[in-house]
Structure 1
């Protein structure tokens, strides 16, 4: 299972520093970063694709991040048949 997250931030460079510093927390939530993109139409926004090793822990991480007031949307994905 994978998780696609969109982060809307007013300052991408500051967000990226915080995102990089949060790598261990994401790892503890069972998330492995597969790809990180910047939105071509909204340069301050970023999209991240994660491999999910534990959906319950990943969901808890999402709730924690949004609880801190981070502008985050998240969708769990599974392969289409």
Structure 2
């Protein structure tokens, strides 16, 4: 399963720094980062992951306190290949 998550960030550079510091916790949650994009002209950062399951993604999103200070919101889109 893949998950594409949009993070609404006010400071992309600060978000990027915290993102690098929290990689181990993403791995423990079964998330493997495949790609990251910054939306041009907007405050969104999009990240595509390979994920072990929806439940682990939701648990990680709700427990990731270090990122919470850097984001104004997030939205996860769960994807599968057709």
TM over 0.5: yes
How well do the aligned residues superpose, as a CA RMSD in angstroms?
A: 1.7
Please state which structure has a larger fraction of its residues in strand. 2
- Shift of residue 63, structure 1, vs aligned partner: 2.1
Runs of at least 5 residues in structure 1 that lack an aligned partner in the other structure: none
In structure 2, the partner of 1:77 is 79
Runs of at least 5 residues in structure 2 that lack an aligned partner in the other structure: none
Q: 2: distance between equivalents of 1:76 and 1:12?
A: 24
Q: Which runs of 4+ in 1 moved over 6 A?
A: none
TM-score (norm. length: structure 2): 0.83
Q: 2: distance between equivalents of 1:73 and 1:53?
A: 18
Q: 1: distance between equivalents of 2:54 and 2:6?
A: 18
Give the total of aligned pairs.
Answer: 78
